[in-house]
């Protein structure tokens, strides 16, 4: 099974900061990766699909990149409403979530 | 619009079987996959399994021996059955279309 490792597990940043969340796969996943945002008490929301495609309705400050085993979610200017836990998810071989990065405002 | 709603018992006794229903609208089960994902309190997301448009199923290898997913296309419903429940199966259980649209989740507590 493919393992997905997210780092950091907790990230504290200031409003307006550029933040980067990382996701590393245990083997090549051929860009078959989504990013989800989950706010407290809510269902996950799809932000990015197939590495770098912005889901409809998601603000353009969110972007994704990566290839092979290493992937990144970037928020260009952190907003208060971005406080959430972010999960990566691979669907190249089986289906596996990462363990999540909790994003807080400093 | 696409909607999914989970339903089932909030409390299940240890060693018993969990049965959940996902009722969908706004899309066809024969053209879309539906998956079950669970989240223990304070923890991350775990993909449990899914049923594809052609009716075939895939399961998380860690749960495969206890889990069954089926559907009734005439009622637009997808079913999850998992046996031999233990306290660490306590979680929010979500159904999701293609891992895109999600239901609100159903809270399940395993306790005597």
Per residue in A18-37, pLDDT (tens digit) is 999 999 999 999 999 999 99
DSSP string of A45-106, one letter each residue = EEEEETTTEEPTT--TTEEEEEETTEEEEEESS--GGG-EEEEEEE-SSS-EE---EEEEE-
**What are the tens digits of pLDDT across the range B59-74?**
999 999 999 999 999 9
Percent of chain A with pLDDT over 70: 100
A contacts of B46 (beta carbons < 8 Å): 97
What pLDDT, on a 0 to 100 scale, did the predictor assign at position B38?
98
Please, which residues have CB within 8 angstroms of residue B96's CB and are 6 or more apart in sequence?
B4, B34, B35, B36, B37, B102, B103
Q: Report the DSSP pairing between strands A70-75 and A96-97.
A: unpaired
Q: In whole angstroms, what is the distance from residue A82 CA to residue A37 CA?
A: 8
What is the pLDDT of chain A when averaged over all its residues? 97
B41 touches chain A (CB under 8 A): no
Distance between B14 CA and the closest CA of chain A, angstroms: 25
Contact state of A97 with B104 under an 8 Å Cβ cutoff:
no
Q: Which residue of B has its CA nearest to A94?
A: B60
Q: Are B70 and B83 in contact (CB under 8 A)?
A: no
**What are the tens digits of pLDDT across the range A90-100?**
999 999 999 99
Distance between B7 CA and the closest CA of chain A, angstroms: 15
Contact state of B50 with A45 under an 8 Å Cβ cutoff:
no
Q: Are A103 and A11 in contact (CB under 8 A)?
A: yes
Q: Quick one: average pLDDT of A4-31?
A: 98
What pLDDT, on a 0 to 100 scale, did the predictor assign at position A91?
96
What pLDDT, on a 0 to 100 scale, did the predictor assign at position A71?
98
| pLDDT level of residue B48 (50, 70, 90 thresholds) | very high
What pLDDT, on a 0 to 100 scale, did the predictor assign at position A4?
98
Q: Which residue of A has its CA nearest to B38?
A: A43
Contact state of A44 with B94 under an 8 Å Cβ cutoff:
yes
Burial class from Cβ neighbours inside 10 Å (0-12, 13-18, 19+) for residue B104 reads middle
| pLDDT level of residue B91 (50, 70, 90 thresholds) | very high
A contacts of B33 (beta carbons < 8 Å): none
Q: Quick one: average pLDDT of A4-12?
A: 97
Contact state of A34 with B99 under an 8 Å Cβ cutoff:
yes
| pLDDT level of residue A49 (50, 70, 90 thresholds) | very high
Residue of A44, A55, A94 lying closest to B45 (CB–CB): A44
What pLDDT, on a 0 to 100 scale, did the predictor assign at position B16?
97
Contact state of B45 with A97 under an 8 Å Cβ cutoff:
yes
**What are the tens digits of pLDDT across the range A57-73?**
999 999 999 999 999 99
């Amino acid at each position: 099974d493919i393992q997905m490792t997210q780092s950091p597990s907790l990230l504290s940043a200031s409003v307006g900061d550029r933040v980067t969340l990382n996701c590393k796969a245990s083997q090549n996943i051929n860009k078959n990766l989504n990013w989800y945002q989950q706010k407290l008490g809510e269902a996950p929301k799809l932000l990015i699909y197939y590495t770098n495609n912005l889901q409809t309705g998601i603000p353009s400050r969110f972007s994704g990149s990566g290839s092979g085993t290493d992937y990144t979610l970037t928020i260009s200017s952190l907003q208060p409403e971005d406080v959430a836990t972010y999960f990566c998810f691979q669907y190249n071989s089986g289906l596996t979530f990462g363990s999540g990065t909790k994003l807080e405002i400093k | 619009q696409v909607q999914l709603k989970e339903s089932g018992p909030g409390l299940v006794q240890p060693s018993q079987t969990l049965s959940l229903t996902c009722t969908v609208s706004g899309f066809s089960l024969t053209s879309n996959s539906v998956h079950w994902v669970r989240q223990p309190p304070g923890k991350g997301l775990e993909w449990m399994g899914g049923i594809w448009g052609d009716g075939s199923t895939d399961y998380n290898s860690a749960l495969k021996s206890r889990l069954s997913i089926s559907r009734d296309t005439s009622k637009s419903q997808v079913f999850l059955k998992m046996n031999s429940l233990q306290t660490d199966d306590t979680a929010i259980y979500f159904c999701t279309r293609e891992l895109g649209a999600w239901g609100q989740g159903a809270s399940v507590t395993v306790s005597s």
